[in-house]
Structure 1
Amino acid sequence: MGFTTPDLPDVDPDEFLKKPLMERIRILNLDWVEQGFGAPRMVHCIYILKLVVFYAIAGLSIALATSGLPAFWHVADWWNQPIVYQKAIVWTILLEAMNLAGSWGPLAGKFKPMTGGILFWARPGTIRERPYKWIPLTAGDRRNWLDVGLYAALLVSLVVALVMPGVHSASLTERLPDNTSGLINPVLAAIPIVLLVLIGLRDKIVFMACRSEQYLPALIFFAVLPFTDMIIALKLLILIVWVGAGVSKMTKHFSYVVPPMVSNTFWTPKWLRRAQYRDFPNDLRPSRVAGFMAHVQGTFIEVAAPLILFFSTNKWLTLIAALFMVAFHAFIISTFPLAVPLEWNVLFIYAVVFLFLGFPAWDGYYITDMSSPWLTVAIVIGLLVFPVLGNFRPDKVSFLASMRQYSGNWATSLWAFAPGAEEKLNRVTRSAGNQLDQLIASGYEPNWAEITLQRTIGFRSLHTHARGTISVLLSRLPDIDSRSVREGEFLCNSLIGFNFGDAHWHGPDLVEAVQDEANFAPGELVVVVAESSSLGGNVQRYQLVDAALGVIETGTFLVSDEVNEQPWLPNGPIPLQVDWARSAV
């Protein structure tokens, strides 16, 4: 792999593109095992520089300078200052809201330009997606000046909360009499809350891009709770994020997440990459090594260590648990996952140190130290509503709000274009061109640009759900080998400026919105969308959508069938149960 050049598959591009789809997938599966996405190391350096210089150093410098605290290298003077933690969250929300944090850059399918977000969301006429159609005053699927105005107001409100100095807090002074920095003005925390809610009623894209499922509760705690209650509530919030994510990984899906993630880590030795699979190159199901990494080093630690952090009153035990969680998030950062939520993981590392070592349970910040047990119960119930609902009714709640990060159990889609039809996407109002065109503009030869996009199908097929979605395409599209098949999570970044592993953004609603301008003829664009399985469930529901005709088939397939097959389906499509079919494609 070169510093500025990608590590491409060892194939003749002309001959490779003539092969049947499943043979291409097999080749790309084997290539992913040993090379991952193959991005130039320069790309990883860009992400590291963005994370260290722009996010950490610049963010800290702004927070410290506006709070009357010394420069960032005087760590002992600021690491446990409450206003610094508050402003770190506000800074992170601001960057997420502009799409300068997660889902940014080439590893998220944004090649040229590398930013989506603000270029789309501050522009009327771009696609928005309402969360529920029954909400009044939300009809339509394009942003108007009201949406742009609310979005701009949100950015301004976050900047104001970030740069304004802290205000005196009696509850803070009572616990920390020597503190002179104060806290963020509760009113300045309340304004983004209102704007996020208003935006969220009309547009789930911006709402979830801001990671509102985690940061909105934090803003609410800043706005309404006295200091001690605020700290304990923030601990509860991060505990539920961790444990919720850990519990959601107790499925057949998660073991299939770790191998492609480890394979995409450029510093991982080849022997360890191959060791993730049962019998490379013949059997690419997860090995025992992968199972151990997934469910012992991953799931067990993600559940056990946070519970120890939260409930332990022993200093050494708490320190050990904190080190485990710091290492956990550092490992995720080191893998450069394709949604690249690097800033989120750095914030969580800081949260571990600030919340559990800066304000430990034995120093008056235990769950029983909250001012009212009823307040504790109300906060716990409020934080658990969406994770519980989303795990049992995944069709109703985004996997982010369900706290199912990296579980491998998320809604997914594949888009299949008839030859030449993908070009019609350029009719859609947006701030980026097709990803194929972006890659060519970045210097790729056209065939290598095509193969680079197809690599994402190889990546997706290493996960459980792709065995099902690909089976639907193979069963329903006799011309599948001649079609351009695109991974929905990757593709939708060029259409809406964001995605984070959830086909709730690139399912039937997006297809309908795209069709308004692209005007595909029947059969030119066919999309298969699969919903997550419920917690403990064995069934995934799918929809087959023709852009011109709407939903043309619904049905189910079984997780147990998916996990028993190779990613390239050598035995043919897995069994499908058709519930309803409109007509043949």
Structure 2
Amino acid sequence: MGFKTADMPPVDPATYDDMPFMERMRVLATHWAEYGFGSPKQMHMLYVYKLIFYVLGGVAVVGLTTPGLGFADLAGWWGEPIVYQKLMVWTILFEITGYASSSGPLAFKFKPFTGGWRYWTRRGTLRLPPWPKVVPFTRGDHRTVVDVAIYFALLATLLFLLLGPGVTTAALPGSEVGLLPQWALLTYVGLIVVMGLRDRVVFLAARSEQYVAVMFFFGIFSNHVDMILAAKIALVTVWFGAGVSKFGHHFTNVIPPMLSNTPWITSKRFKRSLYRNFPQDLRPSKVSWFLAHVCGTVVELVVPLVLLFSTNTTITWLAIIGMVMFHIFITSTFPLAVPLEWNVFYMFAAVWLFGGFPAGAGYGVGDVSSVWILAPILVAFLLFPILGNLRPDLVSFLPSMRQYAGNWASALWAFRGDEAENKLNENLTKFNDNQIDQLSGAFGKEVAEIFMQKAVAWRTMHSQGRGLMSLMMRHLDKLENYRIREGEFTCTTLVGWQFGDGHLHNEQTISAVQERCRFEPGECVIVWIESQPIHRKTLDYKVIDAALGVVERGHYHIEDAVSAQPWLPDGPIPHTVTWRMAGYEPAGTAYLHPQVRPDRVKVGA
């Protein structure tokens, strides 16, 4: 990558569209292996400046708004839980406004750099209630004045918590600084739950799976030891859950494209070593497996448990340093969802909670005020990871604690020509134009199209990508007749935020889009894959024609996906059809279509 110039693939933009689509994927995937996305490094500096503001701004806010804490005595901040509380609130404020995760050009937001609040303060934008048929007063697919009011109430509550003083309490004896008011913490918890029942996008964007339960326990417990233990268990659950989620084939496929896209890794020799036999074989190498499962999985499984149970000061601090270095490395790779502020907060939390309140000093699991206190803590932090790994169709991968594990619900959208794609701009109430239009203003249409398709090539380098493209090959009459888009990036312009969760652009979203855009059959086709359950070797898929609804369901084996090359030189991978809409026939004619297996039809399919 150059500092000011992009590294472009070796293609002629003027004739790029004349190439067969899968040949384009081969060229772009091979280019990604050496150059990543190819964006200029000055783009990454935007995030560095944002992180500097986040860190300095957080310290400034805590020091200026908390009586009893001053910049002249920073050492006095050590051991005051309100510092942790306020920096958590500061982080949530960054997230819920859209300035943290899923922001900027690395999240394919170019003009402007954010969606977030621009969508959630605007009536008429898409809204995704999780259970509209079950929960009263949540039906509908558009934002109303009620939703906007709740969102502003959330912001006001966060600002009150951030800017207000602490309250002295018997829960923290001997402290003149105190803790944040419990009623205000519970007010935020209540509001974000109500918001989540009306729109899960805002709930997830606030990273509620990371912070809501912690705020709840800070709001109800009467003993600061119990509060600290709840915060500790929250961190350990996130780390350990992420480690468990990396079991299997998926995470090994995440490492090569992630490190190929890391701006400070410039060695082509190292990048090529991440693949089995560059450029002929882009499956992950043994080097990638080692980095994934020894430097990743083992660290996330072992070190958090050491932090939680160790009473040895030296071992505890070595574990703290290990987790801080782990998050520094993740931050330095600039992963595409760019959860950078979250990583920095976890570095701080690891030091603050486990170093400032060590298990050996009365803050161990055995120091809980009552053994019954552990029950709600464990239920709160373990329920969704367990359920989400067994039934990923029921739980977003975020509360399932599968962050960047590679095992995500994913999708590709296919629009039959530019006119079909432009219907999103013409008929939806949204703030950001389609990415192709954002990029065209800066680079021209031809170069912009290469960047858009490079995102699809990035997807093909992951395990789900081979399955998704195989379905496209069987259900589109000709790939070259369509503009095929990475679903995550399409979704972010529809709802204002995205973090790699395919549940945010499933049938519910597609139905709302179709109601406004009125696509004809075959004009907008989406192939969609659910995350792999931890106890199965298959992944469920569905094919959705926006005009017709779900037209096919089935599954494929993960081994077939990870054994194929990103550009599928041997054709689509095998899959089993368990249901197909009556009268529907896949449009692709170049490949044999599997017949429906009635013996494998699921109940309710």
TM-score class, shorter-chain normalisation, is: over 0.9
CA–CA separation in structure 1 for the residues paired with 2:135 and 2:526:
26
After superposition, give the CA deviation of every residue in 1:444-499 in whole Å (9 maximum; x if it has no partner).
12111110111111111110011111100001112212210000011111111100
After superposition, give the CA deviation of every residue in 1:532-566 in whole Å (9 maximum; x if it has no partner).
01013211111111111111111111101101111
The answer to whether 1:558 aligns with 2:554 is no
CA–CA separation in structure 2 for the residues paired with 1:30 and 1:77:
53
Cα offset, 1:10, TM superposition? 2.0
Q: Which amino acid aligns with 1:533?
A: Q
CA–CA separation in structure 2 for the residues paired with 1:72 and 1:22:
58
Q: Which amino acid aligns with 1:447?
A: E
Cα offset, 1:70, TM superposition? 5.3
SS in 2 for 1:26: helix
Q: Which residue of 2 aligns with 1:371?
A: 369
Q: Which residue of 2 aligns with 1:478?
A: 477
Q: Which residue of 1 aligns with 2:537?
A: 538
The answer to whether 1:265 aligns with 2:256 is no
**For 1:179-578, what aligned pairs fall within 5 Å after superposition?**
179-225=175-221, 226-268=223-265, 269-420=267-418, 421-426=420-425, 427-441=427-441, 443-578=442-577
CA–CA separation in structure 2 for the residues paired with 1:79 and 1:64:
13
Q: Which moved more, 1:130-139 or 1:343-352?
A: 130-139
After superposition, give the CA deviation of every residue in 1:142-190 in whole Å (9 maximum; x if it has no partner).
11111111111101111111100000021212xxx2x321110111111
Q: Which residue of 2 aligns with 1:97?
A: 96
SS in 1 for 2:503: coil
Q: Which amino acid aligns with 2:239?
A: W
Matched-pair contact (CA < 8 Å) for 2:213–2:380: no
Matched-pair contact (CA < 8 Å) for 1:69–1:78: no
CA–CA separation in structure 1 for the residues paired with 2:211 and 2:81:
16
CA–CA separation in structure 1 for the residues paired with 2:552 and 2:201:
26
Gaps of 5+ in 2: 588-605
CA–CA separation in structure 2 for the residues paired with 1:38 and 1:135:
46
Q: Which residue of 1 aligns with 2:141?
A: 141
Matched-pair contact (CA < 8 Å) for 2:172–2:224: yes
CA–CA separation in structure 1 for the residues paired with 2:8 and 2:80:
47
Matched-pair contact (CA < 8 Å) for 1:251–1:536: no
CA–CA separation in structure 2 for the residues paired with 1:74 and 1:105:
36
CA–CA separation in structure 2 for the residues paired with 1:516 and 1:435:
22
Q: Which residue of 1 aligns with 2:110?
A: 111
Cα offset, 1:218, TM superposition? 1.3
CA–CA separation in structure 1 for the residues paired with 2:469 and 2:508:
21
Q: Which residue of 2 aligns with 1:31?
A: 31
Q: Which amino acid aligns with 2:464?
A: H
Q: Which amino acid aligns with 2:170?
A: A
Q: Which amino acid aligns with 1:252?
A: H
- RMSD (Å) for aligned C-alpha atoms: 1.2
Matched-pair contact (CA < 8 Å) for 2:69–2:177: no
Q: Which amino acid aligns with 2:197?
A: L
Matched-pair contact (CA < 8 Å) for 2:393–2:530: yes
Cα offset, 1:378, TM superposition? 2.4
SS in 1 for 2:504: coil
Q: Which moved more, 1:55-64 or 1:323-332?
A: 55-64
CA–CA separation in structure 2 for the residues paired with 1:111 and 1:238:
33
CA–CA separation in structure 1 for the residues paired with 2:167 and 2:76:
19
Q: Which residue of 1 aligns with 2:3?
A: 3
CA–CA separation in structure 2 for the residues paired with 1:536 and 1:450:
39
SS in 1 for 2:18: coil
Cα offset, 1:39, TM superposition? 1.5
Cα offset, 1:16, TM superposition? 2.0
After superposition, give the CA deviation of every residue in 1:104-132 in whole Å (9 maximum; x if it has no partner).
01111111010101000111100011112
SS in 2 for 1:101: coil
Cα offset, 1:75, TM superposition? 4.3
CA–CA separation in structure 2 for the residues paired with 1:456 and 1:539:
25
Relative to the length of structure 1, the TM-score reads 0.97
Cα offset, 1:366, TM superposition? 0.4
Q: Which amino acid aligns with 2:436?
A: L
CA–CA separation in structure 2 for the residues paired with 1:203 and 1:170:
37
Matched-pair contact (CA < 8 Å) for 1:467–1:567: yes
Cα offset, 1:246, TM superposition? 0.4
Identical counterparts, % of pairs = 48
* Equivalent residue pairs, number: 579
CA–CA separation in structure 1 for the residues paired with 2:346 and 2:74:
17
Q: Which moved more, 1:404-413 or 1:377-386?
A: 377-386
Judged with a 3 Å threshold, the aligned counterparts in structure 2 of structure 1 residues 481 and 214 are, in CA distance, closer, same or farther, namely same
Q: Which moved more, 1:72-81 or 1:543-552?
A: 72-81
After superposition, give the CA deviation of every residue in 1:39-58 in whole Å (9 maximum; x if it has no partner).
221111010100112x1111
Matched-pair contact (CA < 8 Å) for 1:57–1:72: no
CA–CA separation in structure 2 for the residues paired with 1:5 and 1:444:
12
Q: Which residue of 1 aligns with 2:580?
A: 581
Gaps of 5+ in 1: none
CA–CA separation in structure 2 for the residues paired with 1:452 and 1:404:
27
CA–CA separation in structure 1 for the residues paired with 2:463 and 2:114:
30
After superposition, give the CA deviation of every residue in 1:491-538 in whole Å (9 maximum; x if it has no partner).
111111100011000121111111121111111100011000101321
Matched-pair contact (CA < 8 Å) for 2:68–2:176: no
